[in-house]
Amino acid sequence: MALDDSSAEIVFGPVPSRRLGRSVGINNVPPKTCSYACIYCQVGPAPPKDVLPRSFYSPAEVAAVVSERVRSVTAAGDTIDYLTFVPDGEPTLDVGLAEEITLLRPLGIDVAVITNASLISRPDVRATLALADWVSVKVDSVDEGIWRRVNHPHQALQLEDILHGITAFSRDFDGVLTTETMLVAGVNNGDEPIRQVADFLAGLDVAVSYISVPTRPPAVRGVRPPSAEAINAAFQLMQQRLLQVEMLIGYEGDNFASTGDPVADLLSICAVHPMRRSAVESLLAQTGANWDTVGALVAGGRLVETDFEGHRYYLRPIAALRPPTS
């Protein structure tokens, strides 16, 4: 599948990452191509559709788009810490992922993959992930009922298979493995669910276990982060069993890089990373653009405004991201 006018949305950033520093994001699957429909998803609601990896974009063209972004960013004097496969879907659904990682190696920048781990029971998926330097796997719950409530997995998926796959990958992976557990108030933040997750993670070879909370507008109305007291309790419970626990509960900042085209920047970043108004203002200032640029995108239906936890955010509407049907 050749890249078309939407190819700008395949690469975005650099964006500030709370785990990876300055990260160039790679959106290697079409919008909402995912095996989960997590209630906290920042990209918006959609039913899970896919569990079989398939071809979406040409790996050579994906590598070319990313290479061009790296060239322009470095020419502008900016820095890049990671090239990160973090699409608005599940990156391991892309059969070209292994080739894409290999083609990006000559750039000399570490490669990260952030996966929901739903397909990690497959040996071919584990082999692909092993090509990366840094991998994050999602472990929101090890309880079947809570897992289904939080992640809304495709009906073909089985939690036991996923947990076995994560264990196998942890045993064989030579890079940096981290985990992420997203806490949702009233759903998976109780003491017993946290203890269960901690007990499972304690059996893995993990560099850092991250606790995160929803910080951007979620897919399901009413989803909220737990209280500070509940977050601290989860941290303390996990720290009792794990060597390194860190919290991802703060805003990552407004330091988004611009390519010089404010419209392209806003559309590509907001396709996978809802931006606070302050971050949008900072990005516009880099090119001398004014707020009329945003107003026109909102009026034209290419961006939408939404509020979350007292802040105004901007993101792409799902309908605007879907490729046209012929």
Please give the torsion angle defined by the CA atoms of residues 103, 266, 308 and 193, in that order, rounded to the nearest 10 degrees: 0
Q: Note the pLDDT of residue 3.
A: 41
Return the CATH number at 165.
Answer: 3.20.20.70
Buried b (16+ CB within 10 A) or exposed e, 44-72: bebebebbebeebbebebbbebbbebbee
Give me the mean pLDDT over the 224-236 stretch.
84
pLDDT band, very low/low/confident/very high, at 309 (cuts 50, 70, 90): low
Residue 76 belongs to some domain of the structure: yes
What would the pLDDT profile of 1-16 be if each residue is shown by its tens digit? 444 444 557 898 888 8
Using left for φ > 0, alpha for ψ between -120 and 50, and beta otherwise, residue 216 falls in: beta
Tell me if the bond preceding 14 is cis, omega within 30° of 0. Answer: yes
- Segment 97-107, tens digit of pLDDT: 999 999 999 99
For residue 276, is it within any domain? Answer: no
**Mind listing the pLDDT tens digit for each residue in 237-294?**
998 898 898 877 655 555 566 667 888 878 877 765 667 888 888 888 888 888 999 9
Look at residue 237 and tell me if it is in a domain: yes
Give pLDDT tens digits for 127-148.
999 999 999 999 999 999 999 9
Indicate if the pLDDT at residue 189 is higher than 60: yes
Q: What is the pLDDT of residue 247?
A: 78
Answer whether residue 325 shows pLDDT above 50.
no
**Full domain range(s) for residue 45:** 5-252
Q: How many domains, the chain? A: 1
In a domain, 299, yes or no: no
Asked if the structure places residue 268 within a domain, the reply is: no
Check: CB of residue 22 under 8 Å from CB of residue 78. Answer: yes
Q: What mean pLDDT value characterizes the chain? A: 86
Neighbours of 243 (CB within 10 A): 11
Confidence at residue 65, expressed as pLDDT on a 0 to 100 scale = 95
Distance of CA 143 to the CA centre of its chain: 23
Within-domain flag for 272: no
pLDDT value of residue 118: 97
